[in-house]
């Protein structure tokens, strides 16, 4: 998330002021020293009133990458959170802004920092230690969920466009998205990176999926969320190819406590943040926090909000929406070397469809001469000439012939009637898209792939929300 995006988010929060008009507040910059001596720069925002006998409920805001508490402070001020009766703590994560130390991206050290900040805030006599929530965006959302799974006693968590299983985000099906990982970590200046980041980028570039998965496992919350009953609000983008829809939908399915899933227009590329529905998202999150942190009246039932791609309106359900499979047979035989590719196209769609879930490509493939990986990219061309990318997926290959299935990013994508889908199979996602999450590392000159008939399977909503 860029600085411009976070400034835009602050502007998008203006609507919340209508709920709680801005009032003077007490604000002070502080430094909290961690157990390893690292100073963490923070800002404490307090309501301009006497605290209740039990202390103020509180929210800790965790910023995205890149980012710092400056953007978080703008959000707090614009939203008027202290005027709503919250004590709010914003802070620069380790290795960012005015804080010391080196960033290792949501690792055990960052979790320890969050635990210490929660304890520091809860120890204040004007704060209710049992009513401290976390609000995290992207990187901050990942830290919030990972710290919750590690036992930090959040009263509630709001996590926006983030991950729950970082290994499946960065190395799905055992093939590392080296380009995506390098681009994500490039937002951290080299002098502020923990050596572990240099090591994991080197492993990703070398195709060492096992090393990337070990690194990512320490930074993931999915398995730990099975045992928590903390209220969790997950907001994921319809089309986010860094942290796809499954990062939230799998967690939502596992959670046993109060839960909400919001699937909206925001997200990492190809989406943006903020987006047209950011106001709706944050209004729902604000109401939800009031319910679970301040005991305001609310509907306790699980909720799934799915936003229309065209109108921005949110449709509420109690569960994930049902889907049906749409299958496209793509016959043919193609042989190509590393720089080559196989392209297959469907007939125009006879009706509009709304993809919801994980598209897959299954093909009979024979490789030889050291051809090491097969990448599938699916795009669609609408009748108006607009190209819609459904994403890229890939698998490692071994010599010989076998049937392979490649998973694409989980998503919610509307395709109008008359759209025509294109499947491109190659050794790199760059063969069909300007975005290249899978790097095209060298193969021997003798490397060849022979691809036979392919099948594209797309889960689509039984009842679309986009028209």
Residue 20: predicted pLDDT: 41
pLDDT digits (tens, 9 = 90+) for 72-107: 887 787 778 999 999 999 999 999 999 999 999 999
Spell 385-415 as b/e; 16+ CB within 10 A means b.
Answer: eeebbbbbbbbebeeeeeebebbbbbbbbbb
CATH superfamily of domain region 3-165+220-317: Alpha/Beta hydrolase fold, catalytic domain (3.40.50.1820)
Q: What is the mean pLDDT of residues 328-349?
A: 96
Inform me whether the pLDDT recorded for 236 exceeds 70.
yes
Task: Please name which of 30, 134, 158, 25 lies closest in space to residue 85, comparing C-alpha atoms.
Answer: 25
Helix axes 3-12, 278-294, angle to 10 degrees: 70
Binning pLDDT at 50, 70 and 90, where does residue 13 land? very low
> What gap in Å lies between CA 147 and CA 149, rounded to an integer?
5
Kindly give, in sequence order, each residue whose CB lies less than 8 Å from that of residue 29, ignoring residues fewer than 6 positions away: 41, 42, 43, 44
Kindly give, in sequence order, each residue whose CB lies less than 8 Å from that of residue 284, ignoring residues fewer than 6 positions away: 233, 260, 262, 305, 314
What tokens does 280 get?
């709706």
Where are the domains positioned within the chain? Answer: 3-165+220-317, 323-461
CATH class of 323-461: mainly beta
Higher-pLDDT residue of 232 and 17 is 232
Helix axes 209-217, 195-205, angle to 10 degrees: 140
CA–CA distances in Å: residue 322 to residues 128, 237, 253, 315: 41, 18, 14, 14
Q: Do 306 and 321 touch, CB atoms closer than 8 A?
A: yes
Q: What's the predicted TM-score (pTM) here?
A: 0.93
Q: Do 265 and 312 touch, CB atoms closer than 8 A?
A: yes
Torsion of CA 179, 183, 185, 187, to 10 degrees: 170
Binning pLDDT at 50, 70 and 90, where does residue 273 land? confident
Binning pLDDT at 50, 70 and 90, where does residue 210 land? very high
């Amino acid at each position: 998330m860029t600085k411009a995006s976070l400034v835009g988010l602050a502007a998008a929060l203006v609507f919340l002021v209508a709920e709680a008009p801005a009032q003077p507040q007490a604000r002070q910059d502080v430094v909290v020293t961690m157990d390893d001596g690292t100073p963490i720069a923070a800002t404490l925002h307090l309501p301009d009133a006497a605290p209740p006998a039990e202390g103020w409920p509180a929210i800790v805001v965790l910023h995205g990458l890149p980012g710092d508490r400056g953007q978080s402070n703008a959000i707090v001020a614009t939203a008027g959170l202290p005027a709503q009766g919250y004590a709010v703590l914003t802070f620069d994560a380790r290795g960012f802004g005015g804080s010391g130390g080196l960033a290792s991206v949501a690792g055990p050290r960052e979790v320890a920092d969050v635990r210490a900040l929660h304890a520091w805030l809860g120890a204040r006599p004007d704060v209710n230690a049992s009513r401290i929530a976390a609000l995290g965006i992207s990187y901050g959302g990942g830290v919030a969920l990972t710290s919750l799974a590690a036992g930090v006693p959040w009263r509630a968590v709001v996590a926006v466009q983030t991950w729950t299983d970082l290994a499946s985000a960065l190395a799905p099906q055992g093939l590392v998205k080296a380009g995506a990982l390098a681009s994500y970590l490039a937002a951290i200046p080299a002098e502020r990176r923990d050596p572990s980041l240099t090591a994991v980028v080197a492993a990703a570039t070398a195709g060492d999926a096992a090393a990337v998965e070990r690194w990512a496992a320490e930074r993931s919350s999915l398995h730990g969320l099975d045992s928590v009953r903390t209220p969790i609000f997950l907001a994921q983008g319809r089309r986010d190819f860094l942290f796809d829809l499954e990062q939230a939908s799998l967690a939502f399915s596992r959670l046993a406590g109060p839960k909400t899933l919001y699937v909206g227009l925001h997200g990492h590329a190809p989406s943006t943040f903020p987006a047209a529905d950011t106001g709706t998202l944050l209004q729902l999150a604000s109401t939800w926090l009031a319910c679970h942190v301040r005991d305001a009246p609310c509907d306790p039932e699980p909720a799934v909000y799915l936003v229309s791609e065209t109108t921005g309106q949110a449709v509420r359900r109690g569960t994930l929406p049902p889907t049906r499979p749409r299958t496209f047979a793509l016959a043919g035989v193609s042989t190509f070397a590393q720089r080559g590719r196989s392209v297959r196209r469907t007939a125009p769609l006879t009706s509009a469809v709304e993809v919801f879930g994980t598209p897959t490509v299954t093909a009979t493939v024979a490789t030889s001469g050291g051809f090491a990986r097969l990448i599938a990219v699916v795009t669609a061309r609408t009748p108006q000439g607009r190209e819609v990318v459904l994403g890229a997926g890939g698998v490692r290959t071994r010599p010989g012939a076998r049937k392979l299935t490649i998973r694409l990013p989980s998503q919610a994508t509307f395709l109008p009637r008359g759209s025509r889908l294109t499947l491109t199979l190659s050794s790199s996602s760059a063969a069909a898209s300007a975005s290249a999450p899978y790097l095209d590392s060298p193969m021997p000159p003798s490397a060849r792939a022979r691809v036979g008939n392919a099948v594209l399977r797309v889960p689509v909503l039984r009842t679309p929300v986009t028209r």
